[in-house]
Amino acid sequence: MNIIQKLISKHLVEGEMIPGQEIGIRIDQTLTQDATGTMAYLEFEAMNITHVKTELSVSYVDHNTIQIGFENADDHRFLKTVAAKHGIKYSRPGNGICHQVHLERFGIPGKSLLGSDSHTPTCGGLGMLAIGAGGLDIAMAMAGRPFRLAMPKVVKVQLTGELRKWVCAKDIILELLRRLSVKGGVGKAFEYSGPGVMSLTVPQRATITNMGAELGATTSVFPSDEQTRLFLKAQGREKDFYQLSADPDAKYDEVIEIDLSKLEPEIAQPHQPDRVVEVKDLKGMKIDQVFIGSCTNSSYVDMVRVAKILKGHLVHPDVSLSIAPGSRQVFEMLAAEGYLKDMIAAGARILECACGPCAGSGQAPSTGAKSLRTTNRNFLGRCGTLDSEVYLTGAETCAASAIAGFLTDAKEYADVLDIEMPRSFSVDDRMIINPPEDGSDVVVLKGPNIKSLPEFKELEDSFSAPVVIKTGDNISTDHIIPAGAKVIPLRSNVPEISKYLFSRVDTTFYERLKEAGKGIIVGGENYGQGSSREHAALAPKYMGVKAVLVLSFARIHMQNLVNFGVLPLLFDSRDDYEKLDQNDVLRFEDAREGVKNGKMTVVDETKGFSFGVHLVLSERQKATILMGGLLNSVEAKK
């Protein structure tokens, strides 16, 4: 077996490991972050379960840390109390980004982790089976229910050679994005293998598995080997080590080869993470802003390399450089070892260890600006400025360019870039609050912005509704429901957040949908890529969207639509997608029977033609749709 098969078979509770077929796996650990966590815990509360059933569940606060009103602080208080009540650890704001902290303190090779954040596969860098999903799926996992997914195909990424000093782990995943595109990983899991693996430390591996999310992959994993043992030992957790490798005769569905010694620094251009070219192709491009941080590139070694480049220089007068270390552990070590001083002296604007600018919470670029970032996503408007351009690249390239004022690689700094992963990290878990043995007396505090979950009715048999929007390919959940300092505070308030639906692409959308009272969304390929935020399904459902009709879906978003009882429909033919227009009224007859059969006929009443659509759903997913969503299921109620 390959590693993915070994990990899955160890956790398999339902189904067979045949690619494409639905399987159920046992979840050992869960993680949530505040932006998706409030909803996940409201859903968990709706299930009336006293104590989580997992081995470990952690609630992180890292997204909504800018408190421009009471909302975020109220959310933190809710998360803290709800965690104490139900046996969940609470990582306080100030402790760092969920994926970075989980990798450092909790990830265990061989275990399964489900997180309400699409970058949960970061812990695959430790040999974990780590998967991102919507909040409701995490709530179900906390309640001890299996997590269902389609068994992925397994792609072997064979690494040979070693990276040159000014080339980094980010370049490996950017290279895969260049070759495969943002939809190249849908339905697949990526397993890294070959002699090049041993040269990569766990934090470097985690950069790669983190950004595997941008391929649309179900998950990504590295073997658990000597590097893994060294990392766990340095975290004071050698006892958690478990060796994991593929069998010598393991089979794979696909093989991709990358020679690390031939890689150059790469960069993803606006507005998709797969628009990758080599840095040298754009060398000299003037830049206005640089952000170094996020769950992709904020480890200790990343930050030290940045500090070494910045030392003795000043950030270019036309550039604003912000830096956010990934965790309190990293932050504290940078301070203790003097690296923070070098960053400050160079004029860097030091931010708290949180997601911050990555999803648009602070540091929005100026009008028309070019922003260079170490983050993983550059979807239109995500940074907070609609007409700015975000480029994604490695930390070294970012630091060298911040000094130069234009895009350049860090080759000239090669001499200072030889930094080893520390033999021991500074370990201090006091910012993680352990829940009491018995939380029954804990009072869960909910501020006025925290609204209860809407209730949904079962699927109607026949209905008609207008096409409220028609989009192109690769629409991300950032397009559907933005994040950012303004909108994230509304994550626990569905009526309010709904007002921002598609606001980045069409400011009339909300009013039009409200007036129609119902609607159909029409989209192209890979609809719903990116974030796991279930609000991209929940808000449309709340506003009366009956179906999302597209050429293909991204994995997490499609499951979120199912979870909230929105029909996820696929066109039988691209021609029909071409024929449809906004405002066409579509009629659905015998929709319930159609769901059961996996196909139905839709009538375009405006243009007077009919066409076929289909659903690729398991029997369980069909039943969920029919009952109007997962919260209405017996499984959620038992």
Q: Report d(CA 280, CA 411) in Å as an integer.
A: 11
Among 204, 294, 320, 397, binds ligand SF4 (CB under 6 A): 294
Give the nearest distance from C-beta 345 to ligand SF4 in angstroms: 26
Among 7, 295, 330, 613, binds ligand SF4 (CB under 6 A): 295
Which residue's CB is nearer to ligand SF4, number 246 or number 355? 355
H/E stretch holding 254: strand 254-259
Give the nearest distance from C-beta 375 to ligand SF4 in angstroms: 6
36 binds, among ligand MIC, ligand SF4, none (CB under 5 to 8 A by kind): ligand MIC
Query: Please, are residues 201 and 421 in contact by the beta-carbon 8 Å criterion?
Result: yes
Which residue's CB is nearer to ligand MIC, number 2 or number 30? 30
Tokens matching residue 323: 């830096």
Give the nearest distance from C-beta 36 to ligand MIC in angstroms: 4
Which residue's CB is nearer to ligand MIC, number 89 or number 119? 119
Give the nearest distance from C-beta 532 to ligand MIC in angstroms: 4
97 binds, among ligand SF4, ligand MIC, none (CB under 5 to 8 A by kind): ligand SF4
Give the nearest distance from C-beta 592 to ligand SF4 in angstroms: 37
Give me the sign of the Cα torsion angle 83, 84, 88, 91.
positive
Which residue's CB is nearer to ligand MIC, number 163 or number 392? 392
Give me the sign of the Cα torsion angle 197, 423, 171, 154.
positive
Query: What residues between 299 and 358 interact with ligand SF4 by CB under 6 A?
Result: 355, 358
Give the nearest distance from C-beta 115 to ligand MIC in angstroms: 8
Which residue's CB is nearer to ligand MIC, number 370 or number 533? 533
Query: Please, are residues 74 and 36 in contact by the beta-carbon 8 Å criterion?
Result: no
Which residue's CB is nearer to ligand SF4, number 193 or number 376? 376
Return the SS3 of 555: helix
Return left, alpha or beta for 123; rule: phi > 0 is left, psi -120 to 50 is alpha, else beta: alpha
Give the nearest distance from C-beta 376 to ligand MIC in angstroms: 7
Query: What residues between 58 and 117 interact with ligand SF4 by CB under 6 A?
Result: 63, 97, 117
Give the nearest distance from C-beta 17 to ligand SF4 in angstroms: 29
Q: Annotated active-site positions, please?
A: 62-63, 117, 377, 531, 533
Give the nearest distance from C-beta 117 to ligand SF4 in angstroms: 5
Query: Please, are residues 123 and 231 in contact by the beta-carbon 8 Å criterion?
Result: no
Among 51, 80, 89, 119, binds ligand SF4 (CB under 6 A): 119
Among 2, 54, 376, 559, binds ligand SF4 (CB under 6 A): 376
Which residue's CB is nearer to ligand SF4, number 214 or number 266? 214
Query: Please, are residues 523 and 550 in contact by the beta-carbon 8 Å criterion?
Result: yes
> Who's near 263: CB < 8 A, 6+ residues apart?
163, 164, 167, 171, 172, 175
Tokens 């759903």 belong to 617
374 touches ligand SF4 (CB under 6 A): no
List the one residue out of 380, 364, 437, 406 whose CA is nearest residue 85.
Answer: 437
Which residue's CB is nearer to ligand SF4, number 355 or number 548? 355
Expressed in angstroms, the distance from the first to the final Cα of the chain is 36
β-pairing verdict for 370-373 and 389-392: parallel
Radius of gyration of the chain (CA): 23
Q: What are phi and psi of 255, to 5 degrees?
A: -130, 135
> Who's near 575: CB < 8 A, 6+ residues apart?
none
Give the nearest distance from C-beta 171 to ligand MIC in angstroms: 21
Which residue's CB is nearer to ligand SF4, number 535 or number 541? 535
Which residue's CB is nearer to ligand MIC, number 128 or number 403? 128
120 touches ligand SF4 (CB under 6 A): no
Query: Please, are residues 520 and 465 in contact by the beta-carbon 8 Å criterion?
Result: yes
342 binds, among ligand SF4, ligand MIC, none (CB under 5 to 8 A by kind): none
Query: Please, are residues 41 and 79 in contact by the beta-carbon 8 Å criterion?
Result: yes
Q: Strands of 12-14's sheet, edge to edge?
A: 12-14, 22-25, 147-150
Largest CA distance in the chain: 71
Q: Report d(CA 95, CA 556) in Å as an integer.
A: 27
533 binds, among ligand SF4, ligand MIC, none (CB under 5 to 8 A by kind): ligand MIC
List the one residue out of 256, 116, 254, 115 whose CA is nearest residue 188.
Answer: 254
Q: Interface with ligand MIC by CB under 6 A: which residues?
A: 35-36, 63, 117-119, 359, 377, 483, 530-533
294 binds, among ligand SF4, ligand MIC, none (CB under 5 to 8 A by kind): ligand SF4
Query: Please, are residues 334 and 361 in contact by the beta-carbon 8 Å criterion?
Result: no
Return the SS3 of 57: strand
Among 143, 163, 267, 359, binds ligand SF4 (CB under 6 A): 359
> What secondary structure does DSSP assign to 295-357, as a single string?
TTS-SHHHHHHHHHHHTT----TT-EEEE--SBHHHHHHHHHTTHHHHHHHTT-EE--SS-GG
The count of residues interacting with ligand SF4 (CB under 6 A) is 11
Q: Report d(CA 239, CA 399) in Å as an integer.
A: 37
Q: Which residues bind ligand SF4 (CB under 6 A)?
A: 63, 97, 117, 119, 294-295, 355, 358-359, 375-376
